[in-house]
Structure 1
Amino acid sequence: MSDLNKEKSLALANEIKADGSFNRQVNRFTTAFGEGSDELPVEAGRYRLLWSAVCPWAHRSVIVRRILGLEDVISLGTASPMRPNLPHVDWEFSLDENGVDPVLGIRYMSEIYKNTDPAYSGRPTVPVMVDVKEQKVVNNDYFKLTNYFETAWAPLHKDIAPDLYPEKLRHDIDALNDVIFNDVNNGVYKCGFARSQEAYEEAYDTLFARLDELEGRLSQQRFLFGDYITDSDVRLYATLVRFDAAYYSAFKANRNRIIDFPNLWGYLRDLYQTPGFGDTTDFHAIKVHYHLSNHIATDDQKSKNILPKGPDLSGLHSKHNREVLSNKEEKFLNRKG
């Protein structure tokens, strides 16, 4: 392992438990959006959403932003899929002209975190909402951010925006989101970041047991809650779409590919072909990050910086026939319907 990778691995030491299992850091900026005096005001043009196309947590916020028509309301800054050559874990705006975000004027994600809290010592994560007026981070709570977009930001949704978080289903959606997060979204990272055989195998078994369960659930209904896409589908999609291209090999989550699950594979194709999903998915960026720029990988694990040519993902465009499970062509429940 290079000296640089050693330093980065040490920086992540507080996210590895004594048994070798991965324990993701807690979000630092969690103030909610809303109308309360202690909440963040909802205001068009005030905030900038920073993301990288490789990150599943960030991707789902971008999907919801597009589906709900918030693209002209919340601006978007995109970091490179490649980690910068620094002694700490960071994101870099090298895709932009002169290598700086054109709105915030920052080169590295850590700059806006440090500007907000000079004592901040965690990883600078995405997605993160930045108050452009104050030039400070206001929310990096990836677990709740899409829910804020779906509720607090409703006054700024496009006309006839879909309802991804129906009030009558919120308790059930929240419960399923917890399961999906622990066993699937974070489950693949628990496999990939494990530092003991026991921790890896436990995470592996939990992940595939949950995928088996979801395969069964989706054999009976088109989406996780029936006929229409909800917030839970967005969250599951972000992991499934990365699975065969990245997690299967890079994170040793290799019992099955998603293409090997008939119902999950059809479900993934259905979502991928839905506006907001496939058109925000960047497979090149995903592969570059997970195979060449994974900040905890050793030089040997990165196979001497060779980018895998596969897998063949053209099947995502093939007919899925999932509509027969709902007898509906429309995939969204309209908020005003």
Structure 2
Amino acid sequence: MEKLSPEGIIFNIQRFTLHDGPGLRTELFLKGCPLRCEWCSNPESLAPWPQVGIYKTKCISQKKCGACTDVCPQKNVLTFTRGKLTSVERHDCTNCIVCHDACPSDAIKLWGKSMSVQECMAEIRKDKGYYERSGGGVTVSGGEPLLQSEFVAALFNACKAEGIQTCLETSLYVSWKKVQSVLPDTDIIISDIKHMDPVIHKKYTRVSNDRILSNLKKLAADNRQIILRIPVIPDVNDDMANIEATADFILNDLGGRIRTLQLLSFMRLGEEKYASLGMPYKMKNIKINRRSFQKHINGLAEYFNQRGIHCVVGTKEKS
């Protein structure tokens, strides 16, 4: 019997992106992540299954419509305030998604659906001409895409069979076996160093950085193409002690073998998505002076470059 191609749970496919790898790219975002970074701007990526997000301003009202309550197999799962759908009781919801299918007004948004490699390739091929002209390709991100490593390996194999460059954006908080499984068809790897101190890293992400740093060292030893990123978060990882420790790690433990180090300025993004999922946004009270903070980040980039590490502010590889 012929082995069926694996399917992935994907919550977004973004075309013509310039931010995650060289050239113009098609980027696929996979659901599921073992980290819980407090500054995450994609809360819809965290759970490894399809979910619904509630946008009450789009609700027609239970009285005028009521399609969601008509089809929901669970009682008292959907909550209405002043006649408008406002939330879902997540503990009792079975994620059957029938409410989304019935909603006529997009008040219930679906985050995540199963897609086969063939279905993804049909989308990817639409932009093949752009890849060839710009030096771009396909990027798989998340969440943590290596939680679905079998699917990523199959997708990248299909891409390489058609001459399409591949890029993996990963936290690297997975087993080395999962990393190895996708390497044969992976051209570029993008990963973060969020903090060098394992205790502080765990405080803000819920996991230690030991596995991440270990996987980075193995990739560098194998001369893999690595783009490193630091999401610069005020009062979390932007102090010079952590910056100096990060530079030491890149130079001493990775042998300086990275394509680029990118510093990404903290932005308050995704608040509406948090609300739609009934999740608290933990960075709500963070207030910064954008101009002075950007000047601070420019100074950090200058420090890394003085240490001999090619560093840029933002997602472009060249300054």
TM-score range, shorter chain: 0.3 to 0.5
Bigger RCO of structures 1 and 2 (CA < 8 A, at least 6 apart): 1
Flag the structure with higher strand content: 2
Flag the structure with higher helix content: 1
| Greater radius of gyration (CA) | 2
Using the size of structure 2 for normalisation, the TM-score is: 0.36
